[in-house]
Structure 1
Amino acid sequence: MSTDEEPASGPAADAPPPRTGGRTSAAGSALEKSMRVLEAVAAPGGPHRLADLTTAAAVPKSSTFRILASLVEQDFVRVDGDSRYTAGPRLRALAARVGAAEPASIERILADLHRATGQTVHLALRTGETLTYIRKVEGDQPIRTASRIGMRMPLHSTAIGKSLLAHLPDEEVDAIVAATGLPARTPRTLTTRHALDAQRALARVEGYALDDEENEATIRCIGTAVLDPAGRPLGGVSVTTVTFLVPLEEITSYAPALRAAGLALAPLL
């Protein structure tokens, strides 16, 4: 982590913005600064540099750095190897829980997941031995994915598909594999039943599955199944990223918000 902290320029430089109608305590001032820094971290266009967060939050660099260090320690913020800051798993999960308190709709739930991650969001339904995209929310990145509403995708090579297979009985998976095979979509596709079953077991434990360039080169996804009351998969929701913009460690941090979206969508599919 970079330590480009500058010495404080004096009490006046660290003073809170003027207020009217009441006193501002030292604790209140510190809390207000922390909230402004957190809002700056959560703004679109991240990960953000320390200097940009300092400007956006209108908080001195020395104070911004101290606040960020505390937020990173508490998992509200993540910092990458280039000392750029982005929302951490606790902040993403909190955003998802707040959104879930509002009246539910498919569009709102997907929009909330997009806001929590900044990435492309897909909703798909199971269509026999494949899945079909029925909703897509484009991410904030300048690069667009080739997916489209109505596109049918295989189960074994996609994050949503593997999360669906994780909740099907072995004999049903046997029938799907017999009908479709496990064709290689990329050099990273899982093409053996043993490897697929290992991923299914992991998805049941973690609550999500990963597609690490298994369906399309340079594309990495995290997906979770949307289940009916009996635990049968109706479909799934995913977050799609570009590998050279989003590291694997970051995409797994989307899991809490993703799982919350999957649960919220269940009564609506």
Structure 2
Amino acid sequence: MPGIETSEDSQTGDRGGRSSLAGNATDKALNLLEAASAPGYPHRLGDIAQAAGVPKASAHRILQNLVTTGFLASDGSGGYGPGPRIRALAARITQGCEEDQVMRAELEVLGRRIGHTVHMGVRTGDAVTLLVKVAGPNPVQDSTRVGMQLSLHTTAIGKCVLAGLDDEQLTALVGRLGLPPRTENSLTDLAELRAELDRVREQGFALDDEENELGVRCLAVPVRDVKGAVIGAVNVSTITFLESRETLLSWVGLVRTTADALHGLLG
């Protein structure tokens, strides 16, 4: 993969203000690989470049290299998606992976205890990605799926992640992404978000009260790596007309027990 920093790479005009994320050649290639492999592929060059925070010219050059090496595939009309090497790598990582088995086993126990859908999600760049979903028994379900990427500021998992940032990091992230609403209940003001994150830090859990999807209320407790940094969260998802807010809050202890069991599991 190319390792030469071009004059264009030092500009910010084509990055939508995300210059700090572009990084070195390895960072750019990995960000582009992640963006091109996101659900809904094939993705167009411009969309991939914007999502990865890399100028189009550089993105095109690196994407071509990733196609040549088999990590990505081109559909022949300007679209990109995962190639055979990244699919093989994913299969090798997930097949029989002890960490995945532990996560699923812990979430299955939690799901049985509360009778609702539970997730494990982690931060991937500027979003949350769902790694594990254990669906509840109710016929009415939320719209989530494994591999789905969700907003940080509108989800309970994302709020746990944001609560682990300092104010400088939070301000920079909001400066890049803004606070676009998902529903009429979404937090779209930075001061309100800061106040919400203070509550998350104090309480040790986060709520999404129909902020990401109408009719869905979620509770999440952060999961940390071996150094104590928040990498994601365990989440319980309920349908509002099936379960009350008070009942959801009564499960904080159970969710925390599951989250504690996963601390350090992913690094």
Please, what TM-score do these two structures have when normalized by structure 2?
0.61
CA contact (8 A) 2:206 2:219 kept: yes
Q: How far apart are 1:131 and its partner, in Å?
A: 0.7
Select the residue among 137, 141, 144 that pairs with 1:140: 137
Instruction: Indicate the residue corresponding to 2:126 in structure 1.
Output: 129
CA contact (8 A) 1:226 1:234 kept: yes
Instruction: Indicate the residue corresponding to 1:18 in structure 2.
Output: none
CA contact (8 A) 2:141 2:239 kept: no
Alignment partner of 1:162 is 2:174: no
Unaligned runs of 5+ in 1: 1-103
Q: 2: distance between equivalents of 1:246 and 1:116?
A: 14
Instruction: Indicate the residue corresponding to 1:111 in structure 2.
Output: 108
Deviation per residue, 1:46-90 (Å, 9 max, x gap): xxxxxxxxxxxxxxxxxxxxxxxxxxxxxxxxxxxxxxxxxxxxx
Select the residue among 145, 148, 151 that pairs with 1:151: 148
Q: How far apart are 1:209 and its partner, in Å?
A: 0.3
Where 2:182 maps in the other structure, the secondary structure is coil
Alignment partner of 1:234 is 2:208: no
Q: How far apart are 1:234 and its partner, in Å?
A: 1.3
Amino acid aligned to 1:161: G
Please, what TM-score do these two structures have when normalized by structure 1?
0.60
Amino acid aligned to 1:261: T
Instruction: Indicate the residue corresponding to 1:263 in structure 2.
Output: 260
Where 1:267 maps in the other structure, the secondary structure is coil
Deviation per residue, 1:159-206 (Å, 9 max, x gap): 000011111111111111111110111000011111111111111111
CA contact (8 A) 2:104 2:134 kept: no
Q: 2: distance between equivalents of 1:234 and 1:187?
A: 28
Q: How far apart are 1:122 and its partner, in Å?
A: 0.8
* Bigger RCO (CA 8 Å, 6+ sep): 1
Deviation per residue, 1:130-182 (Å, 9 max, x gap): 01001100012111211001110010000000011111111111111111110
Amino acid aligned to 1:164: V
Q: How far apart are 1:232 and its partner, in Å?
A: 1.2
Q: How far apart are 1:230 and its partner, in Å?
A: 2.7
Q: How far apart are 1:108 and its partner, in Å?
A: 1.3
Q: Which structure would you say has the larger Rg? A: 1
Tell me the matched-pair count: 166
Where 2:264 maps in the other structure, the secondary structure is helix
CA contact (8 A) 1:168 1:232 kept: no
Amino acid aligned to 2:117: T
Select the residue among 217, 220, 223 that pairs with 2:220: 223
Amino acid aligned to 2:109: D
Deviation per residue, 1:198-219 (Å, 9 max, x gap): 1111111111000000001000
CA contact (8 A) 2:107 2:118 kept: yes
Where 1:239 maps in the other structure, the secondary structure is strand
Instruction: Indicate the residue corresponding to 1:201 in structure 2.
Output: 198
Alignment partner of 1:248 is 2:252: no
CA contact (8 A) 2:225 2:265 kept: no
Identity across matched positions, percent: 42
Q: 1: distance between equivalents of 2:216 and 2:175?
A: 27
Q: How far apart are 1:106 and its partner, in Å?
A: 1.2
Amino acid aligned to 1:165: L
Where 1:268 maps in the other structure, the secondary structure is coil
